[in-house]
Amino acid sequence: MKKLSICILGGTGFVGNRLCAELVTRGHHVKVLTRQRERHRALLVLPSLELIQADVHNENDLKHEFEDCDAVISLIGILNEKGHDGNGFHTAHVELARKVISACSSNKVPRLLHMSALNAHPDEKSFYLRTKGEAENYVHTFAANKISVTSFRPSVIFGAEDSFINRFAAILKFAPVLPLACAKTKFAPVYVNDVVQIMANALTDKHTFDRRINLCGPKQYSLKQLVQYVADTSDLNRIIFGLPNWASKLQANILEYVPGKPFSVDNYLSLQKDSICDESTQSDYPCTTSMESIVPGYLQNKAKFKQFRAKRSNKL
């Protein structure tokens, strides 16, 4: 296998950490760009990884760091913005895509892997899905046959450090009753290691060039079923009930202005469409790992670790 020089944007995140480890294991040289190098020094245990202080939204930084790269991987995305007008989403998704293509073109980088999202489309109502769709179309259109692009469109991704299963686990610890917005929306959760394997394989697989690949796990669940599964797996007896649509929208409008935006109007709009794959769209890239084989391991281990730490503290 040819050893590649790869620059990753978003390499310090949940998917990025796993992908960096996999690429280094395969013998590739990896550069990870980050604004806060000192916060992510744990990545430096990977032997052929460089952690570089850079602003991924600065086009000059990108052009400099993409020099002599065989491939670029862009994983950056946001689920919520600080404001309410879509500008944050546009900057994080569309403007970054433009800068990445420009920097790749300037350096004649031949390969780009781009993280998009299931249901991303320029006509969607939510800013998140709309700008994800615009960014995806941009990288495929303006690569102009000079850059081989593959975009990946996953449903919700789960794994030990995810922000989906773990978020609900944290909420359920303190909420004996949980009114759940958009409870009937369906998901096909996909395991992070499956996503990482498919992305790493795609780097040199010409069958993936210029393709948009949907990624879904083997089972579909409603949001309520997922949250109930988290409660059951965490041994929590909780009352979880789905809100009607008007109440879901009202909850979003209220929580939109709570610090940290635990649930926003844009989240509500994104959840108006099921995040599942048609069987024909994922047959070439199946993700076979079930939640039931992975999630109990990290939810229950975290609970045991906290119990051990509490007992140890009491003895001191």
Residue 189 to residue 194: CA distance in whole angstroms: 11
For residue 201, the model assigns a pLDDT of 97
What's the whole-number mean pLDDT along residues 118-142?
97
Q: What confidence category does residue 303 fall into, taking pLDDT thresholds of 50, 70 and 90?
A: low
Number of Cβ within 10 Å of residue 305's Cβ equals 10
Taking each helix axis as running N to C, give the angle between helix 223-233 and helix 165-174, from 0 to 180 degrees, rounded to the nearest 10. 70
**Residue the block writes with tokens 């800068």:** 99
> Tell me: the pLDDT tens digits for 193-203?
999 999 999 99
DSSP state of 184: T
* pLDDT at position 284 over 80: no
Q: What confidence category does residue 278 fall into, taking pLDDT thresholds of 50, 70 and 90?
A: confident
For residue 228, the model assigns a pLDDT of 98
> Tell me: the pLDDT tens digits for 217-254?
999 999 999 999 999 999 999 999 999 999 999 999 99
For residue 279, the model assigns a pLDDT of 72
Residues 6 or more apart in contact with residue 315 via CB below 8 angstroms? none
Amino acid identity at 36: Q
Domains of the chain: 5-157+191-215 (3.40.50.720)
Q: What confidence category does residue 286 fall into, taking pLDDT thresholds of 50, 70 and 90?
A: confident
For residue 4, the model assigns a pLDDT of 97
> Tell me: the pLDDT tens digits for 134-178?
999 999 999 978 999 999 999 999 999 999 999 999 999 999 999
Let me know: does 243 contact 181? Beta carbons within 8 Å.
yes
> Tell me: the pLDDT tens digits for 32-69?
999 999 999 999 999 999 999 999 999 999 999 999 99
Residues 6 or more apart in contact with residue 94 via CB below 8 angstroms? 131, 134, 135, 138
For residue 282, the model assigns a pLDDT of 61
> Tell me: the pLDDT tens digits for 65-114?
999 999 999 999 999 999 999 999 999 999 999 999 999 999 999 999 99
